Structure 1
Amino acid sequence: MATPYSSTFPAEPPGDPDDPASVARHDQQAFERVGTMLRHWDRPHRRSYHWMITLDQHQPVIELSQQCQQLLPQVGLGLIPPESLHLTVRRLGYVDEVDPSRLRTALRTVRGRCLATAAFDLKVIPLAGSPGAVRFSVAPWSPLLDLHRTVSAAADCDGVDPLAVYRPHVGVAYSDRVQSPEPYIEAAHRARSLPLAEITINELQLVELYRANHQYRWRVLERLPLAGPSLG
């Protein structure tokens, strides 16, 4: 029987979610305490609607992921290709449970709020992980937490504190078996000498997410620009 693991990892948020050093240190220390890597694909999955930030057009993240992947052991992991790089914000619901009316209402609500939300800069930091993956940390969290609140409200789930359930990150590779984490922890240490990537997030996507050949794939349903006044 597969060993379950929580998608909220680390269990506690960092002390300062907006400070890149604090976030990176917190994530790295949590990864170093992982006793066993699990098979990511044992997690249950159904075709679903997700609010995501897709990163396949962000060249600095693609380049950094490829640099980090070269440092990882060549067995035990499934590397995430450039076209599958993403940062999940929240699941809207499963495709077979979300009717068209609910989907339209959610889109209308989130689109309006995104138009009042400013684009923001994000730092993508090598390298940490979880029981099921090796991944980048990201900071600051505040604009991502705000997006999480926005899409949660559209799903009638606005009473949930995102810091209790949401850990922003970008996957680099998925564990494909139950195994020792030590080779990946060591590789993550080596990757920390690489410079972080800095990108600007200027849109949110609603996608239909599914699995194929041990990768996540998606069909973009809507692109919602962040068009609010600059905070700079």
Structure 2
Amino acid sequence: MSSRELASLHQRWTAYQDLPQLTNHWYWRPGWRADRQFYTWHLTFESQPQLHHLVTDLQRQLALPGLDLVPLDGLHLTMQGLGFTDEVSDGDIEAIVAETRQRGSNLPPLELSLGPVDADAEGVGLLVRPWDRVEHLRATIRGAVGAVWPSVPEPAQGFRPHVTIAYSGAPASTEPIRARLAELREQPPVQVTIRQVPLIALRREDRTYRWRTVATVPLAA
């Protein structure tokens, strides 16, 4: 684990010790509403049995008040948003996908480690490492978007790769969650291989994230 990954994990766990209660993750962000979808690049984990086994085991032990467990088919790593589907033209989507496919063909599959658990006020996630590989892929996507649009949405800085396994659904006390997480933090990580990057239309549904896949960008074999 690199020094900045280790530092982040330590700093976030230390901060969690002083957190009295959870923050409800499900407030409506600007522009969001129940009938609206959002174009975004995510990494998804449909065919990752080792990860699914780990998440199932962790979630069994995290079935606590205040936490909304993420279904296995809802696991994702947020990469780069584009905009609401009613504000982005089909032509722009086609151009961005084509540019991303061209650039993605030069990238190898992404070999990642997921774990240990990494919590904050809005949920419990898994640390993703190494960060630099995910950051390089995100920079490639941003470069493709920038080749089509004069500016790229969302800041380039402040990105922290993670996969959430439980969102905070109510302002519950963190004390019982902290106690349970302390027992789980030594659980070993699992390895995953990402061979494609989907562009999805994301929506919120019943206190979870759901999506339809708009396009996929294969990474080089």
Are the counterparts in 1 of residues 67 and 169 from structure 2 also a CA contact under 8 Å?
yes
Per-residue CA deviation, residues 79-127 of structure 1 (Å, 9 max, x unaligned), is 1111111111111111111111111111011111110011121010121
5 Å-filtered alignment, 1:100-179, equals 100-156=90-146, 157=151, 162=156, 164-179=157-172
The residue type paired with residue 42 of structure 1 is Y
Which amino acid is 1:28 matched to?
W
Residue 160 (structure 1) shift: 7.7
* Compared CA separation, residues 219 and 202, structure 1 to 2 (3 A): same
Deviation at 1:224, TM superposition (A): 1.0
Equivalent residue for 1:200, pick from 193, 197, 201: 193
Q: Is the 8 A contact 1:23 1:137 kept in 2?
A: no
Structure 2 Cα separation of the partners of residues 82 and 73 of structure 1: 15
How far apart, CA to CA, are the structure 2 residues paired with 1:47 and 1:214?
A: 15
Considering only aligned residues, what root-mean-square deviation do their CA atoms show, in Å?
2.2
TM-score normalized by the length of structure 2 = 0.87
Say whether the 8 Å CA contact 1:31–1:128 is kept in structure 2: no
Which residue identity does 1:202 align to in structure 2?
A: R
2:98 counterpart letter in structure 1: R
Q: Distance in 2 between matches of 1:159 and 1:222?
A: 19
When residues 184 and 207 of structure 1 are mapped into structure 2, their CA distance, relative to the original with a 3 A threshold, is same
Q: Give the letter aligned to residue 16 of structure 1.
A: S
Residue 16 of structure 1 aligns with which residue? 3
Deviation at 1:149, TM superposition (A): 1.2
Q: Structure 2 unaligned runs (5+)?
A: none
Corresponding pairs, count = 212
Corresponding residue number in structure 1 for 2:22: 37
- 1:190 to 2:187 alignment: no
Q: What is residue 49 of structure 2 aligned with on the other side?
A: 59
Q: Percent identity?
A: 27
Cα distance in 2 for residues equivalent to 1:117 and 1:206: 17
What CA distance in whole angstroms lies between the structure 1 residues aligned with 2:50 and 2:166? 17
Q: 2:43 aligned with 1:76, yes or no?
A: no
Gaps of 5+ in 1: 1-13
What's 2:216 paired with? 223
- What is the deviation of 1:22? 4.5
Asked if 2 retains the 8 angstrom alpha-carbon contact of 1:27 and 1:137, the reply is: no
Spell out, residue by residue over 1:156-196, the C-alpha distance to the aligned partner (whole angstroms, 9 max, x if none).
Answer: 3469873x221110011111111222222222211112211
Residue identity opposite 1:205 in structure 2:
P
